[in-house]
Chains A and B, each alone.
Chain A
Amino acid sequence: MATTDNTAEITAPARGLIALPQTAARSLIAVGAVATIASTFMSWTYTADFPGDLTYYGSPAGLQILDLVAGALTLLFALTLFDVRGLRWLNPAGATAPVALAAASAFAVSWFSAIAIAVDLKGLVALDPGAYIAALGSLIALVGALALPSPGDTFKDWVSKPDRIPAAQQIPGWAERLVITGATAVALIVFTYGIGVDPDASETFIGYLLLVVLGTWALQSAGLFDRFAELNARHKGFATSMAFLAAAVFPFVENNEHNANLGVNILVVATVALGLNIVVGLTGLLDLGYVAFLGVGAYAAALVSGSEFSRFSGVQFPFWAAMLTGMAASLVFGVLIGAPTLRLRGDYLAIVTLGFGEIFRISVNNLDGSSGPNLTNGPNGISMIPDLDIFGFNFGNAHDIGSITLGRFANYFLLMLIITGIVVVVFNRAADSRIGRSWIAIREDETAATAMGINGFRVKLIAFALGASLAGLAGTVSAHVGYSVNPAPYQFAGSVPPNSAFLLAAVVLGGMGTVNGPILGATLLYLLPEKLGFLKEYQLFAFGVALVILMRFRPEGIIANRRRQLEFHETDQLDIPEQGLPASTVGVTKAGA
């Protein structure tokens, strides 16, 4: 049955969901996109009450900028269908999915804006002609996109990559580097725009999210990300340094202390998530108490920081010594906790680490002199931690570099970036080595790994200790950034990061075993609650819903670890061991031969 259906599908000419001549469909998209772009230069509403102030003619603002980008993207993709010279690279396979997704992004942003204006400002009267034109234009573009030849019957066909994407044209090496530079710059602009959205303008941030998700998806379904990954693989060192350069440029571009503080916190969480990724993603050990190591590092640094609330208030280590102290303390705790627990597997290990994580928080809460020896000042924590001073460079003061002033958080951002860079290098080097392979082997099959001569306990302990000391390293900086440390944040789950559940979610959502995954996951999880203020008490609920949806549709995380570019085989095809022995071995031999 199924096979006959398939053959019918192949022979029948592909038709769209809406019956229209192809030329008409393409023209509709182009016209709709142009109308959408034009509308962003008009007023959408008459009062400045709506976030972003959309009342001006001739200068797009807030949601209009986003709609302008969405419209432009749609127009570009529509032009690829007209075989415009010079745009072939944008849609190499001439697929319809990216066009539909781009049109969907323009539609989503326009209609969301119009509805948000109408709801916020009590009624349709609040809409100016510009908003109507945006809504109508994007609708026309979407109708046109749906009239394009259908890539398949299911929803999935509309949003996935075409099967065969022609190989990229050879371009010289310098041009490839230029492309990488350009793409990195675009990524920096997109990120900076997102982080710069006013926390009160949740509408703008939702529009931003709609555009980023659908727009990225459009580029992905055109196969551009695969090509970019190839470029990156060819110029690995260059691409990595460009990414770090872009991150280093961030405090210069976004010259606002609040946003720089957001940036530091994101980097701290991302770094800790990377450390956790060694334990969870590479070695496959579910650690539910990981945040304790961040706490150990932070407390160790606070104790030797010279703060007058510290038990050793006279002691002030220089930063490098404080950093080593934090790492060493976390390392010791990692080994102490790991040594007895790592003999356990799976669920048992998870429960025990959860317990140890809580023990840390409760102990710190009670080491206040009354219910235990005074070490941590109990629930009050250690406050007034002085700013770092490295070679006379005080991190608390603003410094002028050229015409740009770098404030306190911008200083810490740059310091934290260096530490993130170190952790990325450590992660990459460790993962691609004898020890990294044995971690992955243990994750895949511990019995087989020990039968290959791997001392499971020892190797797992190394992973645990390395992960712990990296978290401790991040903790030393976070203690100074936050002025004080107290036991509250170092719990299993809570509404404020960092907590173990949050870190774990960052790793799992982003993509286990990758470098980019946890960084992206931590960024998203940290930024979303920050910018979507209206969620407030529903934050954890929304977080849960998002987790469920993502795990249903993309269980491997946003950035899947494809273990290098293994393009030649789709998984699930000859996946025999899970199903036991095949019914007919002859068939398998043929497939293999």
Chain B
Amino acid sequence: MTTTTSTSPVLEARGVIMRFGGLTAVRDVDLTVNTGEIVGLIGPNGAGKTTFFNCLTGLYVPTEGKVSYKGKVLPPKPHLVTSAGIARTFQNIRLFANMTVLENVLVGRHTRTKEGLWSALLRGPGFRKAETASRERAMELLEFIGLAHKADHLSRNLPYGEQRKLEIARALASEPGLLLLDEPTAGMNPQETRATEELIFAIRDQGIAVLVIEHDIRFIMNLCDRVAVLVQGEKIVEGPAEVVQADERVIAAYLGTPFEGSPGAEELAEVEAAEATAGDDAESATSKEGTAQ
């Protein structure tokens, strides 16, 4: 991993609590993302990861706690959060299906352009200049994610992986200081996942901090400088990937804990032996795949 020169916090969430009636989805979560950092947020299904994301981006107003971006407390309105400098993608792709690829990215430029209805109707030189500049920037972004040749396609006609990429480009168009990615590799095959990994590193190298929710542990471990684990709305561990991976509570949260009167030692040994052989097979299979590439 590259070492970051400065460590000023981009995003600071302090004591965020989100209650829906009697249900507390997020309990008192603190999280800090520093400049040039890629932070992972993992946890079992229903742990409150996306709810926490929505609290950060203003889609939900947290019941308690505050979220600040570069030292300023964020207003609880999604469009204000975006113009402040936080952009996001969605767990289930939410592109503008009947707009072209280029138009999708242009919509992302909304907060960084000012032209209103009057200038659109009068079409003065200022309007044309801003429109050309927006288009150029949008094409640069499409170039960056490798979709420039499909700029005129309807986004609904893109294959799945490219739709994911386009969502990232659209988020980048708002010139964010922090990018929130909600399961960017869901439904992707290993090659696509690797490509996404490269893309996220490239984004980080542009000086944009990244906070990513993911289920794919291997992906998270390769990618992230720091990982936070959310279980039932609570952050139970935070630290470097290796530390988190070895943490007992994390394993317990994902796999469950052995209960009293659990299967005898003999059965356990049998299961472990079986798993070991299966694991070997799997290991050799993946290594073959690796050499094939």
Contact = CB atoms under 8 A, between A and B. Distances in A.
Interface string A565-584: 01011010111110001100
B153 A569 contact: yes
B107 A576 contact: no
A588 B157 contact: no
Given A563-B100, A575-B156, A592-B162, A426 B121 contact: yes
B187 A452 contact: no
Interface string B72-108: 0000011100110001101011111111100100111
Contacts of A437: 99, 103, 106-107, 110
Contact of A576 (B57, B123, B163): B163
A577 B163 contact: yes
Given A444-B96, A452-B82, A574-B159, A585 B187 contact: yes
Given A455-B79, A585-B188, A586-B189, A435 B120 contact: yes
A561 to B, nearest CB: 8
A242 to B, nearest CB: 22
B79 A430 contact: no
A381 interface: no
A493 interface: no
B170 interface: yes
Given A449-B107, A577-B156, A589 B191 contact: yes
Contacts of B152: 564, 566
A591 B87 CA distance: 29
B107 A430 contact: no
Nearest to A565: B152
Given A434-B115, A571-B157, A577 B92 contact: yes
A454 interface: yes
A438, A454, A582, most chain B CB atoms within 10 A: A454
Contact of A433 (B127, B174, B189): B127
B157 A573 contact: yes
A495 B146 CA distance: 55
Interface string B203-229: 000000000000000000000000000
B93 A577 contact: yes
Contacts of A449: 96, 107
Nearest to A581: B187
Interface string B48-69: 0000000001010000000000
Residue from the set B87, B92, B98, B100 with the largest chain A CB neighbour count within 10 Å = B98
Contact of B79 (A433, A454, A575, A585): A454
Nearest to B113: A434
Contacts of A576: 159-160, 163
Given A437-B107, A452-B170, A585-B189, A569 B160 contact: no
Interface string B172-204: 001000000000001111011000000000000
Interface in B105-156: 106-111, 113, 115-117, 119-121, 123, 127, 130-131, 134, 152-154, 156
Given A434-B116, A577-B92, A589-B161, 7 more contacts: A434-B106, A434-B109, A436-B120, A438-B110, A445-B96, A452-B107, A581-B186
18 contacts: A429-B123, A433-B119, A433-B127, A434-B115, A435-B116, A437-B107, A438-B107, A440-B103, A445-B94, A445-B96, A563-B98, A566-B100, A566-B152, A575-B156, A585-B189, A589-B192, A591-B159, A592-B159
